[in-house]
Chain A
Amino acid sequence: MSRKKLLYRSIAGRPLRSLSLMFICIIMSAVVFGGAVVSASLNNGINCLEQRLGADIIVVPKSASEKVELENILLQGTPGYFYMDKSVEDKLSQTEGVDKLSAQYFLVSANAECCTVQVQIIGFDDDTDFSVKPWLSEAYSGKLGQNEIVVGSGLSTRVGHTLKLYGVECKTVGKLESTGTGLDTAVYTTSDTVRGLIKAAGSKGISVLSKQSPDDVISSVYIKVKDGYDIDEVAANINLGMDGVQAVRTKSMITGTADKLSVISSSVTVLIAAVWVLSAVIMLIVFAALVNERKREFAVLRTVGFSRHQLAGQIMAEAVIICFAGAITGIAAAAAVVFPFSRLIESKSGLPFLSPDILSSLGYALIAFVAVIVTGPLASVYCAYRLSRVDTGKILREGD
């Protein structure tokens, strides 16, 4: 019998033992890979959100419940709206330290044509905008025309297709990059189109919005602070000098989310370490238990001409094969959960969740694979050493 066949028989001949060891490897690799990807996705999400907002300060009406409503719109994608007087924009432009500012207008659609759900519509100023257009993944040239929209990556509408909002056919001319947040399911358009939509809503009997025209009100103002100015100071000046509005530093708005995320990331790291150590200990115990169980088998192999070195190699090879199969299965199982269900994780956790790119994911898979493939054979070293040094004569005599 060749060594290859002996190896196969040794693994397949004891399915329970092999499957138990493989199961430990599956758990280990799934936790290491899945945990690393989840942790990286949460970090990607928060970093992308910070960059995507693009502004140093966001000014919203005080009635927007101390940031909560804005956070709901941005993070959870819960459609919502709140308004403040348009004169706020002019006052803000005169505030010291303000470099660029751009107002946005929030509107919630009635149920869109294909789905019985509401869509967040964000009206932005095409001339002053600096937070929406830099994130266009599918470029469009020029300015947005009447009834032209840009959609978040979470909407399946394709560029060139139309979307019916309040009965108005709006042409999709651009699509934004994914952020893993509520911004992905929003529709972006100009104030002129928003006016048209409000008019259409009025003609459909939804008149509640007609009093809140973008001619009179805005929902938020995104502010970029001039270099050399302290962002906190500028925000404080706005809060002190203007009534009814709240200037929120973008960073502080996502601090709560970042804190939650940091707790989750730490828990994931602890879990990975705990599973790794536990798996290594279990493997060590299992392999140590094998020493007694397989003494006779190895004594027989010695009598048929196997060297000590070959016997040790046999044990190591078994461990490598089992760990290889377990690592591949574990990584595949974790990938089958983490990647396809990323939107579900995002909506259930309420945290920005942006899966890492293919290259990074392959890197995490490699780390998990190496972690398992090294741990298994290392745990079997003691077993290999003991079994390769069995006293053949004594063992065989004991068995008589």
Chain B
Amino acid sequence: MKRLILGIAEAIAALVLTIGAFTFFKACGEHDGKFMACHWAQNAVVLVGIVLTFLALVRIFIPEEKIKTGLAIGVFALSVSVIFIPGTAINLCMMDDMACHTTFKPAVIVVAAVTAVIALADVIAGYIKAKESK
């Protein structure tokens, strides 16, 4: 039950990251038919978000505990990598009062960090469960 709750929480957080990145905390929009640098960071976050959501959903439906733990490790590693996409791996706009700096980057960092923490808790819970069942 505890692990199921963690699995659902992982999937919700990954979904928020994916949908939020191109809706309620999206980067700067298109201007005069021109995309700014942050647009590509947004695309990258959405792409990784889709993979995260897929992994989290698979993790809910697969019954084997060890595979669940393995998938949770994957979700954790991917979530941590998302934190470094905006501004580090892919440049954002020049001025830090633009939407990509004020909303997109902090929101991605916070949601990805929350996903990583949940996934880490899931990994630890899986490890404890595996140890107890031995």
Instruction: Write the residues of chain A forming the contact surface with B, with a CB cutoff of 8 angstroms.
Output: 77, 112, 114-117, 119, 154-157, 163, 184-185, 336-337, 340-341, 343-344, 346-347
Contact = CB atoms under 8 A, between A and B. Distances in A.
Q: Which of B32, B91, B98 has the most CB of A within 10 A?
A: B98
B96 A114 contact: no
Contacts of A343: 96-97, 101-102, 106
A119 B36 CA distance: 16
Contact of A114 (B37, B101, B102, B109): B37
Contact of A156 (B31, B92, B103): B92
Given A115-B28, A116-B36, A340 B106 contact: yes
B108 to A, nearest CB: 9
Contacts of B105: 340
B95 A154 contact: yes
Nearest to A182: B97
A316 B110 CA distance: 34
Contacts of A116: 31-32, 34, 36
A147 B37 CA distance: 25
Interface in B82-106: 91-98, 101-103, 105-106
Q: Which of B92, B106, B107 has the most CB of A within 10 A?
A: B106
A161 B118 CA distance: 40
B113 interface: yes
A112 B94 contact: yes
B95 A115 contact: yes
For chain B, give the interface size range: 20 to 34
A271 B97 CA distance: 28
Contacts of A347: 97, 102
Interface of B, secondary structure class, is mixed
A117 B32 CA distance: 11
B113 to A, nearest CB: 7
A115 B94 contact: yes
B1 to A, nearest CB: 11
A114 B36 contact: yes
A17 B113 CA distance: 28
Contacts of A185: 95-97
A201 B90 CA distance: 31
A238 B69 CA distance: 74
A340 B28 CA distance: 17
Given A115-B28, A336-B113, A344 B102 contact: yes
A341 B94 contact: no
A119 B94 CA distance: 10
B102 A115 contact: no
B2 to A, nearest CB: 10
Contacts of A155: 94-96
A112 B98 CA distance: 13
A154 to B, nearest CB: 4
Given A115-B36, A117-B93, A185-B96, 9 more contacts: A114-B37, A114-B93, A116-B31, A119-B95, A156-B91, A156-B95, A184-B96, A336-B110, A340-B106
A112 B37 CA distance: 13
Contacts of B101: 343
A37 B12 CA distance: 30
Contact of B103 (A154, A337, A344): A344
A115 B95 CA distance: 8
A157 B93 CA distance: 10
A344 B24 CA distance: 14
Contacts of B91: 156
A35 to B, nearest CB: 19
B106 A344 contact: yes
B110 A154 contact: no
17 contacts: A114-B37, A115-B94, A116-B34, A117-B93, A117-B95, A117-B98, A119-B95, A155-B94, A156-B95, A184-B97, A336-B113, A337-B110, A340-B106, A341-B103, A344-B103, A344-B106, A346-B97
Contacts of A114: 36-37, 93-94
Contacts of A119: 94-95
